[in-house]
A and B are shown apart, each in its own frame.
Chain A
Amino acid sequence: MRIGIDVGGTHTDAVVLDGDQVVVAHKALTTADVATGIRNALAFLSDNGADMAAIDAVMIGTTQFTNAVIERRELSPVAAIRLGLPSGRGMVPKLGWPDDISTALGDRDYMIHGGYLYDGQKLSDVDDEEIDRVISDLKSRSVRTAAITSAFSPLNAEPEKYVAQRLRAAIPDMVVTLSHRIGRVGLLERENAALLNTALLAFADRVVRAFEDALLDFGIRCPVFISQNDGTLMAADFVREFPALTFSSGPTNSLRGAARLTGLEEAIVVDIGGTTSDIGVLKGGFPRESNMVVEVGGVRTNFRMPDIQAIGLGGGSLVSDNGKMIGPQSVGHRLVTEALIFGGETLTATDIVVAAGLADVGDASAVSDLPDDLIANGLATIRQILEDGIRSMKPNSDPLPVILVGGGAILAPQELSHASQIHTPEHSGVANAIGAAIAMIGGEAERFVNYTDTPRDAALANVTKAAESLAVAAGADHTSIRTTEIEETPIPYMDKGATRLRVKVVGEVAQLKGNGPET
């Protein structure tokens, strides 16, 4: 059996899964120290039939690291070491960052020679004397954390590894993040990602220890995993090195949970909350990723993030203009006191569906005198908003199944154009925790290739192999690995055949082979 826990900003959800079956589920408020919320959830599970001795694995999804960046807390100072000179002269690390977060990370920025070009040639040689100077400055200022980024390191990471090795040899307690381990092509965004990650390392250590302590209190000694933004897992120890990979794992887990609850691998998922609905796309059972630059706390990054569109429709959305206008303003979590059906005085989207007899929530008599045209307009507006949002997320014009999850799923009509079917699965309220519980281990590699020099098959095999070894290193069972995504981006203005090739693979958690639910 597995436990899935999702620590959100408001709720901590927990679920025990036996194979595909939900044994027990629980939704509780997130506590300020997080660990207490998890202990409360575990206590509920334990008291309601879950055998803690039979748990094989615990999977945790958490927003703590995203929130730390957004709120500028728990961040440690970090030295930025970039290898790319003589290119990028004057383009200092942290350029364009908001002042407050730039200040939080300190002013130790070093730009030195090294790195590669798109065609595999050296951009410049690494200069040992420059590295000596960086080391002596770090020593004199007692800086012990650094993010190392070199040009085209996703293509060739040797310069990053070399500097890391020199630093560790000279300063034994040095802690570093190598950018090629965390981001993809796009030097500034990858460097930003590495810097944020490094700044979170000390906090990550405390968070993981708190998780482990809470589980030990309940006698749970099985492997613990944390979910990443791409819907795969990392071992808890891995989070101590890569906390930033948890950014945006909440929506990812909700998409993955929806896939598991319905068995669908290609679908649109609409997670309807109190204020907004998050719309995402399942591709091969995993969230479609955004190809846009993603800002985290005002910092541009190129993390692997799910492509999510948030629209202003939720259970608490305000209704105006005789039902022709719904949202984006909302009573939010005050829905349970302010909506008409809960004895309040605000007309919300939930009141409309209850008045129409489409949902049985609260006191229906409180909305029995709403005019028919208001109800009809309101339902039409809800449908229109959802249909527009779904249409703008669909990969092409073919109808796709739509899966509704979240507390506000009752808003959705029985029929939507662009939807081949509509699914509202049981336990959809804890889809996030289920998504965490069923996640797999992933690996991803990206290279610039030229199909004129290297045949496509050979190039694909090389990149796939690189992705597979990353997945195995992260704890995947190598016999279960399969490719989930191949992305080929031709490069304009370059030679014919020049392509950016990205491959993503997933595999089951190695320790669970044989007794896990996936076959």
Chain B
Amino acid sequence: MTTTFITPEMLADLSAGAAFLATGGGGDPHLTYLSACEGLKQFGPAKMIGPQDLSDDALVVAIGAVGAPTTSLELLPSVDESITALQAYKDLTGRTVDAVVSFEIGGGNSLIPIVAAAANDIPVIDGDGMGRALPEATMMTYAIAGIHPTPAVALDYAGNTELVEADTAEAYERLVREFSMKRGGMALTAEFQMTGAEMKACIVPETVSLSIQLGKILRSREGSAEQLAARIAQVFDASIYGEFKKLYSGIVADMSTTVIGGYDVGRAVISPLQADGPSLAIDIKNEYLTAHLGEQLLASVPDLICILDYETAQPINAERLRYGQRVSVFAIGCPDHYRTPEALKVVAPRCFGFDFDYTPLEHLP
């Protein structure tokens, strides 16, 4: 059994790694980071175990935030909110909870279950339901594996709770989003309860520890993005992710997004650092979804596309990307969880409005 104790110091690495895995989305994790640090100072380190270390009949529930990251700039998270959400879940559903897990490693949602685990002296599982950031609950590997999201509990900033029941993951997604919009724009949810056995079959494993390793490299400031690439590649090589590729280094030559249907939709064009050559175009819908060199596709969702500052190797999310920045673009093959026919029904390029099918990263030039 591998047990890790997550300390406030490790949260800084975890949130830096989570910013990398957010593939351009996920919002600024700073507030969640501050809140989680306070939580661990209060309750002590959180115990993290690997998915295989939870017994098959134990019950695990996913905890995280749903809503508009912009509103949490004013409506601050509470240090105890994940604890309250977990308690409300137990009270309203009458179920027991033996462990908690994140539903999204990309961005602040990687940190939220950790405080609940520390306070309740139960483990947080090393893994998540996305292996990256994605916009909807229906895209979680838990949903794809057929785990029912409800009964779920939504919690607002004031501690008001609502038991949510829905017949499908799509209906559930709409209900929790409505709840969050009516309650100040942000809500915490406890959802997708699974047995240990079910969790093992669908979780993207070991993404929390991978994120901590990544964050450690990124925060070392020991080189430019290209210089750190070999060390980052080693982390992915030893993981369930696929191939790690450097796609491009260049200068952002154009960047525009507009809001369509509640999402930031747009395109960034990155031109070569020196001399002439084809530009790289990145299509954005909250996250970086596709990369084209001229007409040639280089990578697409569900594989990960990450943009780092060329000099400092710090991840840049889509709302911070701007004209003239020097950047390095990397792609990482997604875990096999997203390459099944069932998964591709919800995460293939066509699900995001693109007119082409998914080709795995390793089959692209």
The interface of chain A, by Cβ under 8 A from chain B, is 84, 86-92, 95-96, 115, 117-119, 121, 123-124, 151-152, 185-188, 291-293, 300, 388, 391-397, 490-496, 498, 500
Task: Report the separation of the CA atoms of residues A391 and B326 in the bound assembly, to the nearest whole angstrom.
Answer: 10
Task: Report the separation of the CA atoms of residues A185 and B30 in the bound assembly, to the nearest whole angstrom.
Answer: 15
Decide: B184 and A123 in contact? CB cutoff 8 A: yes
| 19 A-B residue pairings within 8 Å (CB atoms) | A84-B74, A86-B158, A87-B75, A87-B76, A87-B77, A88-B78, A90-B80, A91-B34, A91-B77, A92-B38, A119-B184, A185-B73, A187-B74, A394-B324, A396-B323, A492-B286, A493-B135, A494-B259, A496-B259
Decide: B79 and A152 in contact? CB cutoff 8 A: no
Nearest A residue to B115 via CB reads A90
Nearest B residue to A309 via CB reads B324
Residues of A within 8 A of B184 (CB): 87, 117-119, 121, 123
B264 at the interface (CB under 8 A from A): yes
Contact partner, B35, options A91, A124, A185, A496, Cβ 8 Å: A91
Residues of B within 8 A of A490 (CB): 257-259, 264
Residues of A within 8 A of B71 (CB): 117-118, 491, 494
Do A495 and B181 form a contact, CB below 8 Å, given A87-B78, A88-B77, A90-B38? yes
Additional pairs, 15, CB under 8 Å, beyond known A87-B76, A118-B184: A84-B75, A88-B76, A91-B34, A91-B35, A117-B75, A121-B184, A123-B184, A187-B73, A187-B74, A391-B251, A392-B251, A395-B323, A397-B323, A491-B259, A493-B286
Decide: B69 and A96 in contact? CB cutoff 8 A: no
How close is A118's CB to chain B, nearest CB, in angstroms?
Answer: 5
B261 at the interface (CB under 8 A from A): yes
B365 at the interface (CB under 8 A from A): no
Decide: B78 and A492 in contact? CB cutoff 8 A: no
How large, as a class, is the contact surface on chain B? 35 or more
Contact partner, A188, options B76, B79, B253, Cβ 8 Å: B76
Task: Report the separation of the CA atoms of residues A504 and B42 in the bound assembly, to the nearest whole angstrom.
Answer: 43
B31 at the interface (CB under 8 A from A): yes
Contact partner, A151, options B42, B68, B74, B251, Cβ 8 Å: B74
Contact partner, B70, options A393, A397, A491, Cβ 8 Å: A491
Mostly, the A contact residues are loop
How close is B80's CB to chain A, nearest CB, in angstroms?
Answer: 6
Decide: B323 and A89 in contact? CB cutoff 8 A: no
Decide: B79 and A186 in contact? CB cutoff 8 A: no
Decide: B157 and A87 in contact? CB cutoff 8 A: yes
Decide: A496 and B262 in contact? CB cutoff 8 A: yes
Residues of B within 8 A of A494 (CB): 68, 70-71, 181, 185, 259, 262
B159 at the interface (CB under 8 A from A): yes
Residues of A within 8 A of B75 (CB): 84, 87-88, 117-118, 123, 151-152
Nearest B residue to A394 via CB reads B324
How close is A148's CB to chain B, nearest CB, in angstroms?
Answer: 15
Nearest A residue to B184 via CB reads A117
Task: Report the separation of the CA atoms of residues A82 and B251 in the bound assembly, to the nearest whole angstrom.
Answer: 42
Nearest B residue to A88 via CB reads B76
Decide: B320 and A292 in contact? CB cutoff 8 A: yes
Residues of A within 8 A of B181 (CB): 494-495
Contact partner, A90, options B73, B79, B159, Cβ 8 Å: B79
Do A394 and B323 form a contact, CB below 8 Å, given A491-B68, A492-B68, A492-B264? yes
Nearest B residue to A302 via CB reads B73
How close is A122's CB to chain B, nearest CB, in angstroms?
Answer: 10
B360 at the interface (CB under 8 A from A): no
Decide: B34 and A493 in contact? CB cutoff 8 A: no
Nearest B residue to A92 via CB reads B38
Contact partner, A495, options B31, B79, B262, Cβ 8 Å: B262
B325 at the interface (CB under 8 A from A): yes
Do A118 and B323 form a contact, CB below 8 Å, given A87-B157, A90-B79, A123-B75? no
